[in-house]
């Protein structure tokens, strides 16, 4: 994840957000550990207002606080902090970057939870119980690439080997979820050539004459259980083992490690938490009705999925969008 810079502050309304945070005395996170907070400002409210008076524009920030090639700002405790040492958190990120920022934050929370549990127990590992299965855990890793995109975002590890694979989704309820996954060739042949996907694309093309109307979403429930399950947990779900493309759990929002009376830990989250019931074969999904995987065609001006101009196809939670029509 990037740090703050004049270029980042010029994007969107980031500079206003930057100044508002200084005015309110809210902290910035240091990039080095994604945890330590610093508050930019003067030693009192009057001094902070004088500081903000020197920041009418990003150019003024550069002119007034640049030392050699680095922008250095005062902190309320009398210290100094470099602008490029500040973590570009979710408030300063675009949508894709925001998703990654939230994922990084969830990863940091879970890592701290594991380290705290290890210190508390005084052991080399803790037991994390998921769906009545016990896993030895003493670390966490992020693995987004294994010869291409993978479903898991970070994994619980034991002696550096992955044992629990986690797909992380943004918080904010079903509306903030974005999607389960894609259905074009980029998602893989299973999705792109699935009969239900192709039939839905055919129906949308007939409905639109090949041009998706603006502000339109068409949808269709999915009948095939394996198509639903692989959209949730990854394209390798059902092959007999968990892995990068067959996740153990899907976690939305912030992760929580809870210690049970038996000394084992349970992995939860502050929003819906979904777990794979089986390693192989078809099992009933652990997702609620509002999160049920649903085929959707959404207007997106720069897309042309399945030769329909302005259409983006995906599998999304049923209630993630306002659907124009189920077809």
Examine the domain organization and report whether 40 and 131 are in the same domain. no
User: Residue 57: how many CB atoms within 10 A of its CB?
Assistant: 11
- Output the pLDDT for position 101: 67
The pLDDT of residue 170 is 81
CA neighbours closer than 13 Å in the CB half-sphere of residue 193: 3
Confidence label for 94 from pLDDT (cuts 50, 70 and 90)? low
Asked if pLDDT for residue 149 goes beyond 80, the answer is no
Instruction: Give the separation between CA 228 and CA 235, rounded to whole angstroms.
Output: 10
Q: Which residue, among 123, 250, 126, has the nearest Cα to 178 in the 3D structure?
A: 250
Q: Residue 228 in contact with residue 222, Cβ under 8 Å?
A: yes
Q: What is the pLDDT of residues 24-73, one digit of tens each?
A: 998 999 988 878 899 999 989 899 999 999 999 999 999 999 998 899 99
1 located within any domain: no
- Which pLDDT does position 12 carry in this prediction? 76
Let me know whether 198 and 177 are in one domain: yes
- Distance between CA 171 and CA 103 in Å, rounded? 10
pLDDT class of 227 with cuts at 50, 70, 90: very high
Calculate the dihedral angle through the C-alpha atoms of 88, 251, 110, 245, rounding to the nearest 10 degrees.
-90
Same domain as 218, residue 83: no
Where a domain ends, among 45, 62, 92? 92
The two counts, helices (H) then strands (E), for the chain are: 8, 19
Q: Which residues of 268-304 are buried (b: 16+ CB within 10 A; e: fewer)?
A: bbebbbbbbeebeeeeebbbeeebbbbbbbbbeeebe
* pLDDT at residue 211, rounded to an integer: 97
Least confident of 18-22, 135-139, 158-162, 166-170: 166-170
Split into its structural domains, the chain has a count of 2
pTM of the entire structure? 0.68
Q: What is the mean pLDDT of the chain?
A: 89
Q: What integer pLDDT is reported at residue 247 of this predicted model?
A: 93
Do 203 and 130 fall within a single domain?
A: yes
Do 68 and 114 lie in a common domain?
A: no
Domain of residue 118 covers 94-327
Token pair 């779900």 is at which residue?
A: 237
Integer Cα distance of 90 and 264 in angstroms: 33
| pLDDT of amino acid 325 | 97
What pLDDT was estimated at residue 317?
A: 95
Looking at residues 161-170, what average pLDDT do you find?
91
**Distance in angstroms (rounded) separating the CA atoms of residues 55 and 43:** 17
| Residue 22: predicted pLDDT | 94
Q: What integer pLDDT is reported at residue 322 of this predicted model? A: 94
Q: Is 305 helix (H, G, I), strand (E, B) or coil?
A: helix
Confidence tier at 98 by pLDDT (50, 70, 90): low
User: DSSP letters of 88-111?
Assistant: --GGG--HHHHHHHHHHHHHHHHH
Asked if residue 135 belongs to a domain, the reply is yes
The pLDDT score that the predictor gives to residue 28 is: 93
Question: With pLDDT > 70 as the criterion, what percentage of the chain qualifies?
Answer: 92
- Which stretches of 44-143 are DSSP H helices? 45-53, 58-65, 95-121
**Beta pairing, strands 217-221 & 325-326:** parallel
pLDDT at residue 143 tops 80: no
Q: Which of 121-135, 152-166, 190-204, 278-292 has the highest mean pLDDT?
A: 190-204
Among 67, 92, 117, the domain boundary falls at: 92
* Residues 172 and 301 reside in one and the same domain: yes
Is residue 161 situated within a structural domain?
Answer: yes
In this model, does residue 148 exceed pLDDT 70?
no
Give SS3 for 177.
Answer: coil
Q: How far from chain centre, in Å, is Cα 276?
A: 19
Share of the chain above pLDDT 90, in %: 64
| 130 shares its domain with 190 | yes
- What does the pLDDT read at residue 311? 97
- Classified as helix, coil or strand, 28 is strand
């Amino acid at each position: 994840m990037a740090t703050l810079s004049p270029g980042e502050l010029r994007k969107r309304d980031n500079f206003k957000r930057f100044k508002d945070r200084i005015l309110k005395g809210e902290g910035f996170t240091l990039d080095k550990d994604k945890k330590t907070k610093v508050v930019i400002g003067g030693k009192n409210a009057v001094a902070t207002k004088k500081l903000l008076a020197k920041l009418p524009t990003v150019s003024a920030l550069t002119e007034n606080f640049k030392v050699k090639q680095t922008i250095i700002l005062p902190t309320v405790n009398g210290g100094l902090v470099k602008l490029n040492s500040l973590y570009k958190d979710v408030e300063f990120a675009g949508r894709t970057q925001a998703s990654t920022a939230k994922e990084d934050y969830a990863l940091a929370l879970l890592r701290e939870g594991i380290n705290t549990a290890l210190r508390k127990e005084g052991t080399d590992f803790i037991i994390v119980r998921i769906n009545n299965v016990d896993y030895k855990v003493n670390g966490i890793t992020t693995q987004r690439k294994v010869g291409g995109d993978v479903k898991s975002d970070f994994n619980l590890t034991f002696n550096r080997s992955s044992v629990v694979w986690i797909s992380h989704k943004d918080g904010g309820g079903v509306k903030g979820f974005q999607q389960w996954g894609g259905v074009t060739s980029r998602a893989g042949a299973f999705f792109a050539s699935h009969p239900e996907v192709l039939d839905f694309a055919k129906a949308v093309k007939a409905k639109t004459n090949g041009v998706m109307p603006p502000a339109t979403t068409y949808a269709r429930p999915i009948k095939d259980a394996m198509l639903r399950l692989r959209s949730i947990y990854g394209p390798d779900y059902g092959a007999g083992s968990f892995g990068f493309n067959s996740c153990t759990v899907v976690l939305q929002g912030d992760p929580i490690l809870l210690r049970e009376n038996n000394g084992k830990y349970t992995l939860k989250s502050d929003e819906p938490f979904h777990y794979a019931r089986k390693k192989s074969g078809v099992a009933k999904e652990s997702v609620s009705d509002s999160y049920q995987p649903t085929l959707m065609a959404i207007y997106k001006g720069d897309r042309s999925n399945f030769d329909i101009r302005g259409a983006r196809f995906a599998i999304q939670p049923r209630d993630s969008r306002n659907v124009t029509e189920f077809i």
